[in-house]
Chains A and B, each alone.
Chain A
Amino acid sequence: MQTNYLVAVNDFCTSHQTEFSFLKSLQQTGLIEITTIEETEFIDTEQLQQLEKFIRFYYELDINLAGIETITYLLQRINKMQDEITALRNRLRLYE
């Protein structure tokens, strides 16, 4: 059974010194999901790693939202291709 934990968006923004509007923009582009429970907005801890990556892109590397979206898509493709390479390497081992 997988247990999901939620972090209040306000707490996250305070601790990461990040504007709420930035998280909202990420949500609107579909890069993160925000859950609303009794008018309080939360993010799943499973998304924290990805979200912090977006923050680094935006604040440290000065990459705008469109750039983050493109990078995320390309990184997903890289990961998929790396998985394919691993699967092909395993297949190749049959003939070694």
Chain B
Amino acid sequence: MNFVDYYKILGIDKSATPKDIKNAYRKLARKYHPDLNPNDEGTKKNFQQINEANEVLSDPEKRKKYDQYGKDWEHAEEFEKQKQYQSSGSRATRSSSSHNSEDFSEFFESMFGGSGNGGKSRQTKYRGEDYKAEIHLNLIDAFETHQQTLNVNGNKIRITIPAGIENGQTIKIPGHGGAGINGGPNGDLYIAFSIANHSIFKRLENNLFANIDLDIYKAVLGGEITIDTLNGQVKLKVKPETQNGSKVKLKGKGFPVYKNEGQFGDLLITFNIKIPTHLTEKQKELFTELSKS
């Protein structure tokens, strides 16, 4: 655990007045506040440091203690314990807080024993913190509506994942975030879905794309083939003289449309015509004959 220089974090010197501290905090908070930097974990960390520095330096008592011990903060706790013992007070110094303990550094916890705020803030009701989670699925999982149980901060939450969920899509589970502050409502849980690529099927919105190998004889003469889709096999007629790279659309054989039960996108097949290898002499002869015809 390292010493944290709160003055340096706020870019002020030790003689800064409360007004200087407030101004410095506001200036930096406007830059790094999570509300202004959605989904940016880097700035969130910066903001936590700024918040912590402000928490200490804007509170005269905390600032005094911080200034007094400075780099010898490790002894502060011992000293405080002794002081408390001498004054025979066994009052709990931890106060209810509007921040999570994880918002404060180990240094802060060690020096001030709590998770900030020291009761100086307005007793305002605030919504709890929003939680974010990520669920990794494969394409087949996302094809069907299914349930999953999540463990969020020790609480098990059973959620239904609708078929057709997209890679990168986020769903909100209201009220399953952090607990509200001073009786405020709970925050929400945001779940982002990460869907892995499939080896055969590529997805774009509700359509699926696949490359299918086709032998030269079927490509030239036409016929019927059986192909795999995500919900079973289907028979497909191949037109005579099908060209390499030509595409066929199978309507309704694509991906389910999110929250539209019974509706599906299309499956687009691209034919890769395979040239036969290891031809027999007879086959070579026939191809030669064919080329002359």
Contacts and interface: CB of A to CB of B under 8 A. Distances in A.
Interface string B22-37: 0000100110010110
Contacts, number: 59
Given A17-B122, A94-B209, A57 B127 contact: no
Given A17-B122, A79-B38, A90 B203 contact: yes
A93 B38 contact: no
How many residues of B sit at the interface, in one of the four size bands? Answer: 20 to 34
Given A63-B30, A89-B168, A94-B202, A82 B39 contact: yes
A86 B168 contact: yes
Contacts of B155: none
B124 interface: yes
Contacts of A94: 202, 204, 209
Interface of B: 26, 29-30, 33, 35-36, 38-39, 122, 124-127, 130, 166-169, 183-185, 188, 197, 202-205, 209
A6 interface: no
B35 A90 contact: no
Given A93-B202, A94-B202, A15 B29 contact: no
A48 B126 CA distance: 10
B124 A17 contact: yes
Contacts of B166: 86, 90
A52 B197 CA distance: 39
Contact of A61 (B33, B168, B203): B33
B265 to A, nearest CB: 13
Contacts of A79: 38
A79 B36 CA distance: 11
Interface string A48-73: 11001100110011110000000100
